[in-house]
Amino acid sequence: QVRLPVVVIGGGLTAIDTATESLAYYPVQVEKFLARYELLAARKGPAAVEAAWNDEERAIAAEFLDHARALRRERAAAGAEGRPARIVELLQQWGGATIAYRKRLVDSPSYTLNHEEIEKALEEGIRFAEGLTPLAIEVDAHGHASGLRVASRQFATDGTASDAVEVTLPARSILIAAGT
């Protein structure tokens, strides 16, 4: 189960792939959830389908149903207007995917091995955040990830780093794609 926003820890090509695949998978996941929900609700009624859900499941289901319906509306509007659907924009509104890397982008394995793949990922809405060292995962009342606390450093043009400041990135899915 993937929830947005996604944070991927790492800086290599696997981190790039993980972030792009997460954003590609999310619409499929929520649309399948909506299709299954609609099928069951048509057979049994929404109340019967939702009767066994606890508060946690109800909240996640509401998120998935809202997002799937928004995707459906956007696709319908795009079709009616003769334009491409703005799926990337919706995913970004919901938090999107961020790659959290401890060094600079230009120092990352993905940049040194295949900078073209980074360009494509950025075009697909992936954010690349430099100078972030993971410290802790923040959790919500249900024990699910709600954020990634990091030590954040800014880099000067000569590559020297500032003192670290703690910040928390919103994150419902935290994926590790680090080779170290």
Tokens describing residue 178 = 């680090």
pLDDT at 139: 98
Query: Cα–Cα distances in Å, from 55 out to 1, 4, 99?
Result: 17, 19, 31
| Among 16, 11, 17, residue whose Cα is nearest residue 130 | 11
Q: How confident is the model at residue 122 (pLDDT cuts 50, 70, 90)?
A: confident
How many whole angstroms separate alpha carbon 157 and alpha carbon 164? 17
pLDDT at 176 over 90: yes
pLDDT at 68 over 90: yes
Q: Each residue of 15-61: pLDDT tens digit?
A: 999 999 999 999 999 999 999 999 999 999 999 999 999 999 999 99
Instruction: Kindly list the strands in the beta sheet with 165-170, ordered across the sheet, starting from the edge strand earlier in the chain.
Output: 132-139, 145-152, 165-170
Tokens describing residue 99 = 């790659």
pLDDT at 108: 82
Torsion sign over Cα 84, 110, 174, 50: positive
Query: Are the C-beta atoms of residues 151 and 166 closer than 8 Å to each other?
Result: yes
Beta-strand pair 145-152/132-139? antiparallel
pLDDT at 155 over 80: yes
pLDDT at 117: 84
Vertex 77: Cα angle to 73 and 78 (nearest 5): 115
Q: Each residue of 73-121: pLDDT tens digit?
A: 999 999 999 999 999 999 999 999 999 999 888 788 877 777 788 888 8
Burial of 139 by CB count in 10 Å (0-12 exposed, 13-18 middle, 19+ buried)?
Answer: exposed
pLDDT at 180: 62
pLDDT at 127: 94
